[in-house]
Structure 1
Amino acid sequence: MASSVATTWFQLLVLAEQIRVGEENLRIAERTERIVDVRYQNGAASRTELLRQQTEVLNQRAGLVPVQLQYRQIQSALAVLVGESPLGFEVESTHGTLLAMELPEVDAGLPSDLITRRPDLAREEARLQAADANVEQARTALLPTVSLGLNAGLSNNNLLSLNNPVETAGWTVSLVQSLFDGGRLDAQQAISESQQLELLEHYRSAILTALQETDDALDRVQTSQQREALQATVSESAARTLELTELRYREGSDELLTLLDAQRTLFQTREQLAQLRLARLVVTVDLYKALGGGWNASGDDAGG
């Protein structure tokens, strides 16, 4: 539920940013239309050029309508998620929130036992405990002593050995004998060795799944950060290019098609930047889920 609310909220922020960018793009298109109109009135531009830019203005105006509709729909979906009626439900101003939002930093040294907060691991540990197994000993034996974090990666010998049935078959049986009260349970309390082995294998499988999901999420976080940073640079460059191209068009050094190309490039890069920001927010939620909750700088449990 928490991740659904967060993801829907992020979608709303992206749509708010798209509306803001769309309105700014419209202002740029209208400004260019005025420039073309002045040149047309002075005989320096053709009627075709003016009509072409007027069409671009209309396209920008029309493009805002479906985004505004989607914003209202996502706002209603958010209302339902938080238990409110969509009628009259409004969020506080989201202007400028998306790009200004600070995401939690991921250290390179998050302890791997953070994943034990996950519901699936908690379930398997509860089953072990119900069978009188030593859960702490199971954690020590099965949970790799690796750090979770950007660039850390779990595709190493620790994880591979944990996932290797040839290497684990022998010591798993021995581990079963030591975990379940060292074989000291009486006949009425004891469960069969095959059931003990099944419980332990389920727990080991859950650990592997948790580690793999966390590793994948960390990799996506790092990749999304890099892509967003690169796209921000591209967008800044496109904005500067439009400024220079507009100046050259005013002076008669560039054609309208060159200006239109620079204009559309800027519009596209801004849209892509918003989408990449959303992708980064979503993978951060995925990491939150993979770790079974929030985290803080010290690596201790943090409230969700």
Structure 2
Amino acid sequence: MIRPRRTLLALSLAAALTGCALGPDYARPDAQVSLPETYAAATPVAQSPGVASNWWTLFGDSQLDALVSQALASSPDALIAAARIEEADALLRQVDAALLPQIDANASSARSRSILPNTTPAKGMVRTVNKLGLSTSFELDVWGKLRRASEAARAQALGTRYASDTVSLGLAAAVTQAYLNLRAIDAQLLVNTDSVSSQSRSTQLTRTRFEGGIVSQLDVQQAEGALAAYTAGQVQLEKNRALAENLLGLLVGQPGLKVAAGDVRSLPVPPVPPAGLPSSLLEARPDVRQAETALIAANARIGVAKAALYPSITLTGTFGHESKDLSQLFSAPSTIWSLGAGITQPIFEGGRLRAQVEQVTAQQKQSLESYRKSVQSAFREVNDALVSMRQNTEAEDAYTRAMNAAKRALQLAQARYDAGYSPYLEVLTAQRTANDATVAWVQNRQARLTSSVDLFKALGGGWKGS
């Protein structure tokens, strides 16, 4: 009967070691939002079947490329995200260690004196004990508590990587948009500088005409007032540029950053996704993936909490040597060993363990809704970016016509004034209209490029062709 009992014990142990894990197994939930299969919004600009994750290089600006690379390498936000990955990896190793036997080495030496019983007069005995050995303990994961904990930690570690990708994507977008703002200010500075130069020549010419009795003092005052206004505008734009440089310096982790002048008008418009791009690509967004890993972790923690309601079984063992003389510590008669098993079953916890199950279940529900919200928000952001790109593209044609018409009107007004057919106020009005039209075109071009950045960010950084 001994052999069948041993066989039954072995089978029971094997069943325990491969026991099922409590708690729900993860399955990707339905986002519960009516998402079309594809994005139907088409934008009348160059389309591309695929864009790499380094989408900012599409602007063809080496200085922008360098700034984004510097930000991704040295920005405090990027470094914080990297440290969080290290923290999550360390936590995962800690949790996984519980799945393995714990082995400790121990050594001791003790000397004691005790009274021998039944001796008159009482006699003492001095005893020396030297011990050296190994001890081990191993918790049988019968209910899957340790496996579920490992599942949660693994999802959390993966989530920190997606969080880091989200930080990198947001940082690249922020640097690019700040750079576009700087280049738009540069373009406005060029426009205003031309206006200052033109107005300065016009003011000098008006003074000369006044001295010759051709024009009145009113024309001189109007010309000088316009020159002063353009000069003040130049100072304001230079201040705005310095502030834009400061923001870029903060984003790339380089206070006091200086960026050479450029012009937003020289930057190309990046391509957009082809019409019919599947909306399922939202699943590749790092923030959506991060939300899903948080849901996976919360789902696994339900199993951990439920397993705490059931008995925990621990195997223990020791092996070593014990002797009163160190010289005989490793001799055969000094060998000692022990094997044991323990079981712990919660009896009364005042409802604490069941409350923990309810707590993690509620947390799982929160994570589920957060995941659904992230998918819905991602879809809205893509649609918003596509709408902005389409509207800004259509508006650019109108702004171009308005700018060209204003420039021609300025030429006509200047010619009429030079010929003596109109007052100087007509020239000033035409100059102001031309400047406003050019600045409006620049601002719309900036908005168009910025909406491209918004689209890249909304799509998770580039896309793959079909």
* TM-score normalized with structure 2 length: 0.46
Shift of 1:269: 1.3
Contact 2:183 2:261 in 1 (8 A): no
Contact 1:15 1:70 in 2 (8 A): yes
Alignment partner, residue 216 of structure 1: 384
Relative to 1, partners in 2 of residues 1:239 and 1:198: Cα closer, same or farther, differing over 3 Å? same
More divergent stretch after superposition (258-267 vs 123-132): 123-132
Q: Which amino acid aligns with 1:126?
A: T
Shift of 1:199: 6.6
Q: 1:123 aligns with which of 275, 290, 304?
A: 290
Distance 2:454 2:399 in 1: 22
Alignment partner, residue 164 of structure 1: none
Relative to 1, partners in 2 of residues 1:3 and 1:257: Cα closer, same or farther, differing over 3 Å? same
Distance 2:367 2:462 in 1: 28
Gaps of 5+ in 2: 1-170, 301-359
Alignment partner, residue 24 of structure 1: 194
Distance 1:270 1:115 in 2: 38
Q: Which amino acid aligns with 1:243?
A: Q
Shift of 1:36: 2.2
Alignment of 1:73-112 (within 5 A): 73-86=243-256, 89-94=257-262, 97-106=263-272, 107-112=274-279
Q: 2:231 aligns with which of 61, 65, 71?
A: 61
Q: Which amino acid aligns with 2:245?
A: Q
Distance 2:362 2:172 in 1: 38
Relative to 1, partners in 2 of residues 1:123 and 1:253: Cα closer, same or farther, differing over 3 Å? same
The structure with more strand, counted as a fraction of residues:
2
Alignment of 1:89-238 (within 5 A): 89-94=257-262, 97-106=263-272, 107-127=274-294, 203-238=371-406
The structure with more helix, counted as a fraction of residues:
1
Distance 2:370 2:185 in 1: 42
Alignment of 1:7-22 (within 5 A): 7-22=177-192
More divergent stretch after superposition (121-130 vs 213-222): 121-130
Distance 2:201 2:400 in 1: 24
Alignment of 1:242-257 (within 5 A): 242-257=410-425
Q: What whole-Å deviation, never above 9, does each CA across 1:201-221 have from its counterpart, x for those lacking one?
A: 654443322212211111011
Shift of 1:250: 0.6
Query: Helix, strand or coil for the counterpart of 1:28?
Result: helix
Shift of 1:273: 1.9
Q: What whole-Å deviation, never above 9, does each CA across 1:268-304 have from its counterpart, x for those lacking one?
A: 11222222222222222222221111246x36xxxxx
Q: What whole-Å deviation, never above 9, does each CA across 1:46-105 have from its counterpart, x for those lacking one?
A: 01111210111111112111211221222122112112131xx322341xx301111212
Distance 2:260 2:284 in 1: 33
Query: Helix, strand or coil for the counterpart of 1:293?
Result: coil
Distance 1:33 1:249 in 2: 13
Distance 1:70 1:235 in 2: 24
CA RMSD of aligned residues (A): 2.6
Contact 2:195 2:230 in 1 (8 A): yes
Alignment partner, residue 157 of structure 1: none
| Paired residue total | 235
Distance 2:281 2:237 in 1: 39
Distance 2:370 2:177 in 1: 31
Gaps of 5+ in 1: 133-191, 300-304
Distance 1:282 1:3 in 2: 9
Relative to 1, partners in 2 of residues 1:127 and 1:71: Cα closer, same or farther, differing over 3 Å? closer
Contact 1:35 1:250 in 2 (8 A): no
Q: What whole-Å deviation, never above 9, does each CA across 1:202-254 have from its counterpart, x for those lacking one?
A: 54443322212211111011111222231122111101110111011111112
Q: Does residue 264 in structure 1 map to residue 432 in structure 2?
A: yes
Distance 1:269 1:231 in 2: 7
Which protein is bigger by CA-based radius of gyration? Answer: 2
Relative to 1, partners in 2 of residues 1:198 and 1:33: Cα closer, same or farther, differing over 3 Å? closer
Distance 1:103 1:255 in 2: 42
